[in-house]
Amino acid sequence: MITCSLERMTNLIDTFSKFGATGHGGITRFSLSKEAIQARDEFVKRMKAIGAQIETDDIANVYATLPGSDPNAKRIVMGSHVDSVMNGGNYDGILGVMSAMEVLTTIQKEQIPHIHPITAMIWTNEEGSLYPPCMMSSGIVCYDYLPENVRSKYKEENMMASKGDTMTFQQAIEQSGYKGDKKNRITPNTYQYMFETHIEQGPILEDHHKDIGVVDCVLGMFNYRLKFYGQTTHAGTFPMPKRKDSFLAASHALIELHKRIDSLGYKDLVYTTGEVSCHPNLHTCVPDYFDFCIDVRHEKKEVRDAVLKIVKRFEDEMWDGCICKVEKAWERETVYFDKQLIDYVEESAKELHTNYQRIHSGAGHDAQFAAYMLPTTMIFVQSKDGLSHCEQEYSSPEQCTQGASVMLHAVLKADQT
């Protein structure tokens, strides 16, 4: 069977790792930054070299297309993002772009016949590092198809927002040189299927000695905030028994929250607290306000509902003299990928004799929004030690090439339909 080129993939990894290199093995490449523009320029240069047609849309998404034998057929698109988090790795997002490039290059070099036009693309601002929220461009493009509770975060006026003192997302688009026409956006009228190859970002494949993950869904999740209200007093003058320390209350509540959730005994349930705030946040003051988030993810709604029931009960109790209020920040249902495309990926993995397994995605991706709009699926490549969003992030060139080869043959199977 024809496979993608290990030599070319290795060269792609080496080349793109230079754009935004931190000097410590990783990258910082914020969306539409100078470093991200360098990555885009490299994408365009290489895709033009194989005869692909380049287009951009009004949100600076970039498309490189090889025509098919049927000029009226809808496109099959593969893609991901080139932007990163601060001090991120050389594989998150960009592997999906490099894999799409390698699939197109293999089709062109091997003169593989295909009916549909086949497109490699770059989604803009997946990470949301400077311009929240994450997955902004796919959210805007897929806006009309998103559930109402998700849609509210992705109105186009959000492009005028920014984090800190940075320019707005809209200003960054205007200055990027990659602003195109709105008519070039992905729509169901012009696109048939979407594939996204990505690193797993977790340890499941490695733990099971698998190189490739056939992704069937993105887990449903919720994010709530538990807010504790006490009383600020002077840290040195107010007696300990009379204090209403919201930080102390929150710490006791968090430990109890873990105990109660763990007692449910649900397999594959994951949750964490990754963001907190404290007021007045001064060493001379007893905190009168403290809040933390609780991010919970599982495929089944009944499991998430059982956890949420526990979370909401914290409002009914006093914590070290402090009251607790529970507020929803974010929620989504499990997004299931297209069964036929999943089968194409699995069949391709088998035919290529790769070590693979079916797997869920615990992380969000542009593909999950695309899945609301057109048939979509994902392919995972093993992440060493399960590490991602850090400079130690690593997937071997061989595994990356395997992922691209699986996508190549899954795309060719889809092309025949």
At residue 162, the pLDDT reads 63
Percent of the chain at pLDDT above 90?
A: 93
Region 234-252: what's the mean pLDDT? 98
At residue 63, the pLDDT reads 98
Q: Is the pLDDT of residue 165 over 70?
A: no
Closest CA relative to residue 305, chosen from 331, 286, 284, 285: 331
At residue 37, the pLDDT reads 98
**Residue 140 CB burial class (10 angstroms; 0-12, 13-18, ≥19):** buried
At residue 110, the pLDDT reads 98
Q: Is the pLDDT of residue 198 over 90?
A: yes
Q: Is the pLDDT of residue 308 over 70?
A: yes
Per-position b or e across 157-184, b if 16+ CB within 10 A of its CB: ebbeebeeeeeebbebbeebebebeeeb
Confidence class for position 156, pLDDT limits 50, 70, 90: confident
- Where do you find CATH 3.40.630.10 in the chain? 6-219+334-415
Confidence class for position 45, pLDDT limits 50, 70, 90: very high
Q: Is the pLDDT of residue 158 over 80?
A: no
| The one-letter amino acid at 250 | A
Strands 289-298 and 220-229: antiparallel
- Where do you find CATH 3.30.70.360 in the chain? 220-332
Q: Do 247 and 290 touch, CB atoms closer than 8 A? A: yes
Q: What is the 3-state secondary structure (H, E, C) of 143-177?
A: HHHCCHHHHHHHCHHHHHCCCCCCCCHHHHHHHHC
Indicate yes or no: pTM above 0.85.
yes
What pLDDT digit, counting tens, does each position of 68-126 carry?
999 999 999 999 999 999 999 999 999 999 999 999 999 999 999 999 999 999 999 99
Q: Please, which residues have CB within 8 angstroms of residue 121's CB and are 6 or more apart in sequence? A: 61, 62, 63, 64, 77, 78, 79, 97, 100, 186
- Dihedral over Cα of 168, 169, 175, 176: its sign: positive
- Measured between alpha carbons, how far is 103 from 8 in angstroms, rounded to an integer? 11
- Measured between alpha carbons, how far is 334 from 297 in angstroms, rounded to an integer? 9
- Cis peptide upstream of residue 397 (ω within 30 degrees of 0): no
- Cis peptide upstream of residue 133 (ω within 30 degrees of 0): yes
Q: Do 216 and 360 touch, CB atoms closer than 8 A? A: yes
- Measured between alpha carbons, how far is 154 from 135 in angstroms, rounded to an integer? 9
Q: Supply the DSSP symbol for 52.
A: P
Superfamily of domain 6-219+334-415: Zn peptidases (3.40.630.10)
- For 220-332, give the CATH class: alpha beta
